[in-house]
A = this chain, B = another copy of it.
Amino acid sequence: MKKITGGVTAAKGFEAAGVEAGIKYQNRLDMALVYSTVPCKAAGTFTTNVVKAAPVLWDMEVVENSPYAQAVVVNSGIANACTGKIGYGYCLETAEAVSEALHIPKESVLVASTGVIGMQLKMDKLKAGVVKLAEAKEGTLEAGHQAAKAIMTTDTVSKEVAVQFDVDGVTVTVGGMCKGSGMIHPNMCTMLGFVTTDIAISKELLTEAVKADVVDTFNMISVDGDTSTNDTLLVLANGMAGNAEITEKGEAYDKFVEALHFVNETLAKKMAGDGEGATALFETIVMNADTKENARVLAKSVICSSLTKAAIYGHDANWGRILCALGYSGVQFDPEVIELFFQSKAGRIQIYKDGCGTDYSEEEATKILSEPEVTVVVDMKMGSETATAWGCDLTYDYVKINADYRS
């Protein structure tokens, strides 16, 4: 498997576009299209929030009941969540507009929205945007990049990744894009993530691979503990790589799972590192836990702790807050036995052992914590299970962004 430049248009047969539709933002891209020249198998995971946005309800239907999907249309600025029957109607109208513009069945059009909750879409602008998207779509890297920019809200950078590997002597590509960067505490999947691949694979195996992988990728990140109403990860596979369709587990399936995992993990980390107001990606690795689930719970508890996140922002080795966050996670352990380490590109130090802080150098700790990517390693000494979670620091800018997001 090798990493290549690109995103949702990296795989064969996929086109994309990003256009200015003036949905809510002015003078920036705010609508995106991902389109496959042939129908795709589709898999998806969606928010577990009881309050589900209209497009989430529609996409769940499509992924469950349509044999194929062929296009994803996305708008930023307005989330179409808490918009009642009117909002659901608007979502259907959007799918119909795409169906008309691209001459594909309405039931093969996936819809995603992100932005302010509770506001209704302006359908004239949205429909004009759909027409523009249909005209603009291209299979170029640049078109994929435009799409990745169009789905951003408070993100500071667009987020894309792509990889290639061989199956049956043919080259298979998996690429994706996603957006954050607030209301990020995915519980099932992320805010908005779109992955395309030209692999030929059965819908059942595609679904299984996606559902299994989000548990250790998108579900292991958090920016603010708020599970969105719009979380959506969609994976489209159009079969154009030319491999024999994967219909059972084996070497080819394993290779695909490995590539999908790399793409998902890369996108998830990009999202955490670009959390609202963040200055650092904050990674927590819990090793030697008794169960995989306990390792996940412990790692997430640390990256979700507001106090720990504020300390990371201050480059302050306040390890007591990490102990505290492990302690209230709900997992049982012996605080006298576990060990803690800080690490980054600037080095690695042990910070806690035998129930007490070690005699570490505060200066060295501050140096390690001043890097843009910092890691806490927790050795539970209880077993052999490992999990990694990704978050970000808590900063003035997080408060600033969210105290006046609507204005």
Which of A77-85, A238-246, A256-264 is near enough to bind chain B? A77-85
**Cα-based distance from A66 to B323 in the complex (angstroms):** 30
Chain A contact surface mostly = loop
Contact residues of A between 296 and 332, Cβ < 8 Å to B: 304-307, 310-311, 313-314, 316, 318-321, 323-329, 331-332
Is there contact, CB below 8 Å, between A316 and B352? no
List the B side residues contacting A182 at CB < 8 Å: 307
Known: A333-B50, A335-B51, A396-B396. A314 touches B225 (CB 8 A): no
Chain B residues with Cβ under 8 A from A403's Cβ?
A: 310-311, 313-314, 316
Report yes or no: A307 in contact with B183, Cβ–Cβ below 8 A: yes
C-alpha spacing A3/B314, complex, angstroms: 43
A76 nearest CB across to chain B (Å):
15
Q: Which residues of B contact A306 (CB under 8 A)?
A: 224-226, 306, 398, 402
Mask: chain A, 86-107; 1 = CB below 8 Å from B; 0 = not: 1100000000000000000000
A82 touching B356, Cβ below 8 Å: yes
Q: A356 touches which one: B48, B84, B325, B356 (CB < 8 A)?
A: B84
A228 interfacial by beta-carbon distance below 8 Å: yes
The yes or no answer to A406 lying at the interface (CB within 8 A) is yes
- Chain A 350-407 residues near chain B, CB threshold 8 A: 352, 354-357, 394-396, 398-407
Copies in the complex: 2
Structural contact, B402 and A356, CB atoms closer than 8 A:
no
**Cβ contacts under 8 Å, A119 to chain B:** 357
Cβ B183 vs Cβ A324 within 8 A:
yes
Question: How far, in Å, is A86 (CB) from chain B's closest CB?
Answer: 7
Q: Are B49 and A324 in contact (CB under 8 A)?
A: yes
Residue of B nearest to A310 (CB): B402
Chain B contacts for A79, CB-based, 8 A: 320
Question: Does A167 touch B at the CB level, under 8 Å?
Answer: no
Contact: A50 with B226, CB < 8 Å? no
CA distance A381 to B321 in the complex (A): 40
Any B CB within 8 A of the CB of A173: no
**CB neighbours of A185 from chain B (8 A):** 328
* C-alpha gap A354/B82 in the complex (Å): 9
Further 9 A-B residue pairs, CB within 8 A, beyond A118-B323, A224-B306 = A49-B327, A49-B328, A50-B335, A82-B323, A82-B357, A85-B355, A117-B318, A307-B402, A396-B396
